[in-house]
Amino acid sequence: MNRLRVYARNLLANWVGYGVNLVVMFFLSPFVVHQLGSVAYGIWSLLISISGFLSLAELGVGGGLGQYLNYHLAKREIRRVNTVINTSLVFFFMSGLIMLMGVAIVSTFFTSVFKNIPDRYLPAIRMSMFLIGFQLWVSFFYATFNQILASIDRFDLQNIVKILSILLQAGGTVWVLTASGGIVGLAMVQLISGICGMLVTVILVRRVFPEFSLRPASARLECFREMFGFSLWSFVGKIAFRMLYWMDIVLIGILLTPKHVAYYSIAAMLIMHARGFVIQSSFILTPQIVKDCALRNWNALQNIFSRGSTMVMAIGIPMFVGFIVFGREFINLWMGKEYVISYQILAILSLAQLPSIASALTGSVFSGLHKVHIDAGFTLLQCVLNLILSILFVSGFHMGLAGVAWGTFLPRVVVSLIALFVAVRMVKLSWRDFVNTVLWRWVILLAAFWIICLCLDTVVIKNGWFSFTVKVLAASMIYVGLVWQGLMSNVERKQTLSLVFSQAA
């Protein structure tokens, strides 16, 4: 199968997987919020954010796993591939034990840090923390086998398992909340669905990658040192990444109240799902980018970086511009008037995502060229600025939730643009050529779609889900035409048509 068909299959699989995720999120989230109430939902969001920090017990080795799997697969060194996998599994077993100790510590000092939590929730919080800890431990192994599927370009199988896990978790969530299971029930559902997903993934790996050998005795200390040497900066980057995406929630929990956490979490949830959809689309290119970097295939690397970045922007623009223009009406219809306060946060964070997704492939380039310390440095810089500005805006200028959002916005825009500039130079592209052939198309497409959405929002009368759906569908159809004519080259249009007709045949 040629590379274009592989990319198309993987992209379609990722879209279907994330599409199912978005549909479930759309219908399930209002149910969860209203069943729990704003206070309990804020606490649940806080626990999920804390779990993001507990997952750092894997010390970034997951980044080294992906790097060396692709590196050795490119060279057809299967024995080394198995050594890398088994070394990772043994390490994750040990790190999971350490993580559970961290869960115990966090559970003990939870009320000392978060002083605005009502006492009646404390027993459920402690039980949920331990269940979440076990679920994270399972996720270490789950992610390892997922990475194997990604490295052999089987994103379709990845997403089959993902969809099954999502549906299992959704059904379990409805059941436990209907039975008044609360946050403990939600944590138990996450653990069970995670175990099931991991077991199915292991079975699939054994079928599609028969060279894989599960032999913990083949783990090697020197292999771990090699991966950890690469992953040290990846670990720093992961710490910063967790702080970028979860520290805002923790900070609000410390400085404000659980209700404020709930309001911010609704906007952050939409951003995370939309960004996840976009980044998942870019992940299909990561294995090939790493392989091209390993072989120093500069022409192919320049081509995949330029075209891949354009693909990511084409996917991301309608989502985040749509949030900015239609977000207030959507939250009102979706969650109710009480949560319209979340719109301001959604608009600010959406605006910050536009330059961020433009640099979505920079991490793959830095990783492939063994410059992961650059990516980690950028993420750490962004994280520190985010933390400082958020505290300043909330405590110093009393800007409330908006202060946290603006504290996120400014560093993300500046650092993302700098990272894009550096990555363009590292793949030996002329920045001027990149601007003239790629960047200006993004800007024109963004401006044109924004104007179209504003016009539709003005013309179409707001009278419920029907009119909202009409606006979104109309904007989407116009956008497809804009992408086809304005963003894709003649060669790309011909390749797309050829691929579609060949698949249909």
pLDDT for position 202: 87
Comparing CA positions, the residue from 122, 139, 125, 123 lying closest to residue 192 is: 139
CB atoms near residue 497 (< 10 Å): 10
- For residue 19, give every residue at least 6 positions away whose Cβ sits within 8 Å of its Cβ, in sequence order, or none: 277
Amino acid type, 341: I
CA distance 304 to 137: 35
pLDDT for position 321: 95
CA distance 97 to 95: 5
Cβ proximity of 263 and 339 under 8 Å: yes
pLDDT values of the chain reduced to their tens digit, one per residue, 505 residues: 555 666 667 767 777 877 788 888 888 889 998 898 888 888 888 888 888 777 777 766 766 777 777 777 777 778 887 888 888 888 888 888 888 888 888 888 877 778 778 888 888 888 998 898 888 888 888 888 888 887 777 777 888 888 899 999 999 999 999 998 889 999 999 999 989 999 998 888 888 888 877 787 877 877 777 776 666 666 666 666 666 667 788 888 888 878 888 899 899 889 988 888 787 777 667 777 777 777 777 887 878 888 888 888 888 999 999 999 999 999 999 998 889 999 999 999 999 999 998 888 888 888 777 787 788 788 888 888 988 999 999 888 888 889 999 999 999 999 999 999 998 888 888 888 888 878 888 888 899 999 999 999 998 888 899 999 999 999 999 998 888 776 666 666 665 555 444 444 4
Among left, alpha and beta (phi > 0; psi -120 to 50; other), residue 464 is left
- 161 token code pair: 């398992």
pLDDT for position 224: 76
Cβ proximity of 345 and 270 under 8 Å: no
DSSP assignment of 89-101 equals HHHHHHHHHHHHH
CA distance 227 to 270: 34
Q: Would you kindly state where each structural domain of the chain is located, as residue ranges?
A: 1-245
CB contact burial 189-227 (16+ within 10 A = b; e otherwise): bbbbbbbbbbebbbebbeeebeebeeeeebbeeebbebb
pLDDT for position 122: 85
CA distance 327 to 320: 9
pLDDT for position 62: 67
CB atoms near residue 24 (< 10 Å): 17
SS3 213: coil
H runs (alpha helix) in 114-220? 122-151, 155-178, 182-208
- Burial of 436 by CB count in 10 Å (0-12 exposed, 13-18 middle, 19+ buried)? exposed
- For residue 254, give every residue at least 6 positions away whose Cβ sits within 8 Å of its Cβ, in sequence order, or none: 113, 114
Would you give the end-to-end CA distance of the chain in angstroms? 15
Among left, alpha and beta (phi > 0; psi -120 to 50; other), residue 271 is alpha
Enter the DSSP assignment of 486: I
pLDDT for position 504: 42
DSSP assignment of 277-342 equals HHHHHHHTTHHHHHHHHHHT-HHHHHHHHHHHHHHHHHHHHHHHHHHHHHHHHHHHHHT-GGGTTH
Comparing CA positions, the residue from 217, 498, 496, 237 lying closest to residue 375 is: 237
Q: Could you give the angle at which helices 182-208 and 155-178 cross, rounded to 10 degrees?
A: 160
Cβ proximity of 454 and 324 under 8 Å: no
Question: Structure pTM?
Answer: 0.73
Cβ proximity of 133 and 57 under 8 Å: no
